[in-house]
Structure 1
């Protein structure tokens, strides 16, 4: 069940992210993130399991068929002794177990049917999943920019050399606005006809996680354990890896921003002598954000095709993907703890989460990420990368 749970968890997050993106076309990322957290929370999944009468189908305790500790009762049988009745008719289950079961059921539907059937099951559960139209297709969204701005979009596309990106992707965007938006930082969008990449990045993050996990299940399922899948996902969602990929293909030169500080951070990263040999160099968050936004841009432009998106981005993941699946790094937080490291402080500001850790020798390291978990992982990884 645990592997199905991992797969279902990723698809749940993707389906909810897509639904929120579709239903709230002008909401900022902060609102989308809050609503997503509510929908995928263990408490909400527990509530839906109870309301849909699924609790009677969940068995968490180990089934013992024989002996004094037996707790299995064949259908149609009853217990004569009231003293022993409870162990046959009752079990103690934490609410998270119900949430895990919902995720495992979603994973089971994915493995045994298709996306549309799985989405319908999620609708039956009353989850706010991706809306479907009358033909059971994912509902289309309004154009990312108004059609009367097409000429200005074309001008930006040609003047800023976005064709180079398409050549490296080996994909030509039908709607150039998606491509331009994916490379537009909030500092630039204030004075631009397109919005920033933030909403696309919100969805691209969920798309990348699901596509990687799906690829892993389809191609390496014989070696998969839940812990291994988690390590693979963390490896590939690591900002350092995504930023490294963007720079290695020289796509960072097309990012649109109005900030000297960002320019200095990117240039410092690019000039790092280890950049071409290591993916563990601290990376400006903007680089990873743009890569994830680009994934969502391709997804929308390719008519919501997950298969097509994977076909385009898989070559970019390349060796990092293969290495992460065949020999994923152990969870950096576990390794950090084993070495005697300590978490000193964690906090979240308006744009990201920050974590401060300390190694046994007294050295401090700071990590950043889109949430506390990623920030902690980043901080632990930086501490582990340090060589005395």
Structure 2
């Protein structure tokens, strides 16, 4: 076994001094490798997840008083989902302090760190996220919340900088599969994903009106292969629609945007 991580360095990263050091150690003792001395961090994850959703929702609610519930939910999700939290963990080196190292897990984290370079802010479903990274951020939020006598203000003060860059309304990006589905539905086009070959060659193909329009491979998860295939189609959507004889598909997306602009101006 390697040496035990110096969790005082975590306090320096967070600029927060724990009153109860056991809470900090509990936060970094992952439930897949928990010791007998300390509880695994699942309990802190649960409360940390709830606190994070509340403080981020509160911040966005007052920042965007005219934003509808759907967009508010989308914005909150982009700022609190597993990928966002995993990025924060890597950026601030929190993963280096997980108690009891695991080689396979560390390799997974290395792959994620490499993929982050291709998508600097958020991939929206195009990379595999090691959930343990998000777990560590949530459990640390829970630990600070309990340690600060349940102070939401303290938690936000500590973690706002950890979560930077915050994703704001103008930075919102639709999930590729959702965006492609929306375009095809409004253009009355048949959209089909062919996923049967994924077990054989890690590929997912997309057909519109029974015509192959995109394909992508990703061996770790079928869902991400699907997302990447959708992204491939969207990158060439103008040409694809022209080949299908659809000349005004963009009217559907413009119609959606116009409805939102009208709603905000009311």
**Common fold by TM > 0.5:** yes
TM-score, normalisation: structure 1: 0.47
Q: State the match for 1:283 in structure 2.
A: 129
Aligned to 1:307: 153
Given candidates 8, 11, 15, the residue that maps to 1:166 is 11
Deviations 1:95-154 (A, max 9, x none): xxxxxxxxxxxxxxxxxxxxxxxxxxxxxxxxxxxxxxxxxxxxxxxxxxxxxxxxxxxx
- After TM superposition, the structure 1 = structure 2 runs for residues 22-37 of structure 1, keeping only pairs within 5 Å, are none
Alignment pair present for 1:295 and 2:135: no
In structure 1, list runs of 5 or more residues that go unmatched. 1-157, 346-355, 369-374
Matched, 1:335 2:182: no
Deviation at 1:178, TM superposition (A): 1.3
Could you tell me how far 1:232 is from its partner in structure 2? 0.5
Distance 1:362 1:379, change over 3 A: closer
1:28-84 alpha-carbon deviations (Å, 9 max, x no partner): xxxxxxxxxxxxxxxxxxxxxxxxxxxxxxxxxxxxxxxxxxxxxxxxxxxxxxxxx
Deviations 1:184-210 (A, max 9, x none): 112321x34112111211222222111
8 Å contact kept, 1:187–1:258:
no
2:91 is the counterpart of 1:245: no
Please, which of 200, 216, 221 is the counterpart of residue 65 of structure 2?
Answer: 221
Distance 1:357 1:228, change over 3 A: farther
Deviation of 1:257 after TM superposition, in Å, equals 3.1
Question: For the aligned residues, what is the CA RMSD?
Answer: 3.2
Show the counterpart of 2:261: none
What does the per-residue CA deviation read over 1:193-238, in whole Å, with 9 as the maximum and x for residues that have no partner? Answer: 112111211222222111111101122213x111211210221232
**In structure 1, what is the equivalent of residue 31 of structure 2?**
186
Query: Aligned-pair distance for 1:335?
Result: 1.2
Contiguous gaps of at least 5 residues in structure 2: 184-190, 197-202, 208-213, 237-266
* Aligned partner of residue 317 in structure 1, secondary structure: coil
Question: 1:203 — aligned with what?
Answer: 47
**Who is 2:243 aligned against?**
none
**251-260 vs 273-282, which deviates more?**
273-282
Q: In the alignment, is the contact (CA less than 8 A) between 2:23 and 2:147 conserved in 1?
A: yes
- Contact 2:5 2:98 (8 Å CA) reproduced: no
Matched residue of 2:163: which SS?
Answer: helix
Larger RCO, structure (CA 8 Å, separation 6 or more): 2
1:297 Cα deviation after fit: 0.9
- Partner Cα separation in structure 1 for residue 229 and residue 80 of structure 2: 18
Q: Provide the C-alpha distance between the structure 2 equivalents of 1:384 and 1:300, rounded to a whole number of angstroms.
A: 42
Contact residue 28 and residue 41 of structure 2 kept, 8 A: yes
Residues 1:359 and 2:197 aligned together: no
1:366: Cα distance to partner? Answer: 8.1
1:344–1:297 Cα change, 3 Å? farther
- Are the structure 2 counterparts of residues 383 and 299 from structure 1 closer, same or farther at C-alpha, using a change threshold of 3 Å? farther
| Per-residue deviation, 1:332 | 4.7
Determine the C-alpha separation between the residues in 1 that align with 2:117 and 2:6: 28
Is this contact kept in 2: 1:269–1:282, CA < 8 A?
yes
CA–CA distance in 1 between the matches of 2:220 and 2:168? 21
Does the 8 Å CA contact 1:342/1:358 hold for their aligned counterparts?
Answer: yes
Q: Which of structures 1 and 2 has the bigger CA Rg?
A: 1
SS class of match (2:17):
coil
Looking at structure 1, the residues matched to 157 and 57 of structure 2 have their Cα atoms a distance apart, in angstroms, of 15
Give the superposition deviation at 1:381.
4.8
1:6-45 CA distance string (max 9 Å, x none): xxxxxxxxxxxxxxxxxxxxxxxxxxxxxxxxxxxxxxxx
CA shift, 1:169, in A, is: 0.6
